[in-house]
């Protein structure tokens, strides 16, 4: 597999259950001891010099990253990138076989017949050139005409691009203590600050699933999130729009409530919900609204009703017996999302969860592509994207 990404399969198997089912599945990967990670990072010298010391201008960042006029008028987005007249249309697209995110995104856009408003990408804390460095050259270039959503995981992936799914948790307690500020956190904050343009930023997305993975307790996550937020502020990176992302799986309701850092630390709330259908051996087909509305309403009733909502990952599995069903699922989105008025961004997860055809969530061809193309042409998803 190429490109940074989350392991969907094990997490998804726990999310498709009915709200009353509290069973959870563990991810099937081998933990790597932290000592190995520290040795790797120290031995290779990924943070041998700080960006401020090496290049105060932010080495490798575009000089015009924050240039251009801002949109004006009644549909101009807010300071926290909320579009008042509709919603952003975005996607997570895995890296191309040649290792290029730019090629992957441009190829996807050619297939869907429009430019994405928002490109979503994932990073670990390794400091490596693509996986662990926020704002890669491809991200910077794509960000000139699009919004970026950067998900930063408090883990180190064992293989490049998480190829075999093994990773080491750095631990929320350690993040909150400032243990990794100087070597890991601060250099990436400086990169974002130098970039200038506003970006969406999600720390440890699907955080409710990470408790079982060993990241820590809800209280430790809140402390880590607040520490990271405050550290960005202290270093002057005020161009970050903070997105708090959970799975939206209602069996984790207690955990999700306990994981919320507070309205003063969050700009958007986000969730990852799907119509898995036969991918999880069920005959229950959920249309778009039924796949999203229960978690949307629960989060607004139980966490906060004061923040815009992002569908940070969404998609439908196909129906082999009725291929047109997948097309209709997507064409129904423009009408259905208007019934969820605080949903202001939709980000398609364009990647299979496994090699089984019933778990292919992509819209790269066939009826799924046809429906997704049509949905993306709706005026609700034609909002003015800010240049900074």
Say which residue the tokens 């997948």 belong to.
Answer: 326
Residues 227 and 178: beta-carbon distance below 8 Å: yes
pLDDT tens column, 233-262: 999 999 999 999 999 999 999 999 999 999
Indicate the pLDDT class of residue 159, thresholds 50, 70 and 90. Answer: confident
Average pLDDT over residues 6-30: 37
95 in Cβ contact with 101 (< 8 Å): yes
Question: What is the per-residue pLDDT for 236?
Answer: 96
pLDDT of residue 291: 98
| Sequence-separated (6 or more) residues with CB below 8 Å from residue 386 | 70, 71, 76, 77, 81, 147, 198
Q: Is the pLDDT of residue 22 over 70?
A: no
Break the chain into its structural domains and give their ranges: 9-17+28-381
The neighbouring-strand residues paired with 279 are: none
Q: Is 1 exposed, middle or buried (0-12, 13-18, 19+ CB in 10 A)?
A: middle
Is residue 13 very low, low, confident or very high in pLDDT (cuts 50, 70, 90)? very low
Q: Is the pLDDT of residue 40 over 70?
A: no
Residue 365 tokens read as: 């061809």
pLDDT digits (tens, 9 = 90+) for 99-142: 999 999 999 999 999 999 999 999 999 988 889 999 999 999 99
Distance CA 206, CA 271 (A): 7
- Report how far residue 181's alpha carbon sits from residue 189's, in angstroms, rounded to the nearest whole number: 10
CATH fold for the domain made of 9-17+28-381: TIM Barrel (3.20.20)
Q: What is the dihedral of CA 121, 169, 161, 195, to 10 degrees?
A: 40
* Rounded Cα distance, 369 and 313, in Å: 17
- The pLDDT value recorded for residue 41 is 42
Instruction: Point out the catalytic residue in the list 12, 139, 167, 313.
Output: 313
As a whole number, mean pLDDT of residues 290-299 equals 98
Give the angle 369-335-378 at the CA atoms, nearest 5°.
Answer: 55
| Class of residue 378 by CB neighbours under 10 A (exposed 0-12, middle 13-18, buried 19+) | middle
Q: What is the pTM of this model?
A: 0.86
Lowest mean pLDDT among 30-39, 43-52, 334-343: 43-52
Residue 161 has a pLDDT of 65
For strand 155-157 and strand 167-169, is the pairing parallel, antiparallel, or unpaired?
A: antiparallel
Catalytic residue selected from 12, 206, 220, 255: 206
Alpha carbons 231 and 332: distance in angstroms, whole number: 42
Asked if the model's pLDDT at residue 172 lies above 70, the reply is yes
Q: Return the pLDDT at 379.
A: 98
Confidence at residue 57, expressed as pLDDT on a 0 to 100 scale:
39
Give catalytic status of residue 313 as yes or no: yes
pLDDT class for 61, splitting at 50, 70, 90?
A: low
Q: Is it the case that residue 382 has pLDDT exceeding 70?
A: yes
CA dist 379 and 89 (Å) reads 11
User: Above pLDDT 90, what percent of the chain?
Assistant: 74
């Amino acid at each position: 597999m190429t490109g940074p990404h989350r392991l969907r399969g094990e997490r998804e198997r726990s999310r498709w259950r009915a709200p009353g089912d509290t069973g959870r599945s563990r991810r099937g990967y081998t933990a790597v001891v932290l000592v190995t990670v520290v040795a790797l990072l120290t031995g290779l010298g990924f943070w041998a010099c700080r960006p401020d010391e090496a290049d105060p201008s932010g080495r490798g960042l575009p000089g015009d990253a924050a240039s251009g006029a801002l949109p004006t008028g009644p549909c101009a987005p807010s300071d926290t990138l909320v579009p008042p007249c509709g919603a952003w249309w975005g996607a997570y697209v895995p890296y191309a076989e040649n290792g290029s995110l730019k090629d992957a995104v441009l190829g996807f856009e050619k297939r869907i017949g429009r430019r994405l408003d928002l490109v979503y990408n994932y990073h670990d804390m390794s400091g490596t050139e693509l996986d662990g460095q926020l704002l890669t050259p491809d991200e910077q270039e794509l960000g000139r005409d699009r919004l970026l959503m950067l998900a930063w995981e408090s883990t180190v992936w064992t293989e490049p691009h998480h190829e075999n799914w093994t990773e080491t948790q750095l631990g929320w307690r350690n993040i909150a203590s400032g243990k990794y500020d100087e070597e890991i956190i601060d250099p990436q904050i400086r990169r974002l600050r130098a970039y200038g343009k506003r970006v969406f930023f999600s720390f440890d997305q699907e955080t409710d699933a990470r408790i079982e993975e060993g990241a820590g307790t809800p209280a430790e996550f809140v402390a880590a999130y607040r520490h990271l937020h405050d550290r960005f502020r202290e270093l002057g990176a005020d161009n970050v729009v903070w997105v708090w992302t959970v799975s939206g799986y209602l069996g984790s309701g207690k955990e999700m409530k306990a994981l919320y850092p507070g309205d003063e630390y969050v700009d958007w709330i986000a969730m990852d919900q799907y119509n898995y259908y036969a991918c999880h051996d069920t005959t229950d087909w959920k249309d778009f609204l039924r796949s999203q509305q229960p978690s949307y309403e629960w989060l607004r009733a139980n966490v906060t009703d004061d923040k815009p909502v992002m569908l940070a990952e969404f998609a439908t599995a196909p129906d082999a017996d009725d291929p047109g069903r997948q097309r209709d699922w997507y064409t129904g989105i423009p009408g259905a999302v208007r019934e969820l008025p605080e949903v202001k961004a939709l980000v398609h997860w364009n990647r299979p969860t496994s090699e089984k055809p019933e778990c292919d969530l992509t819209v790269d061809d066939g009826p799924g592509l046809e429906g997704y193309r049509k949905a993306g042409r709706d005026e609700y998803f034609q909002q003015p994207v800010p240049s900074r």
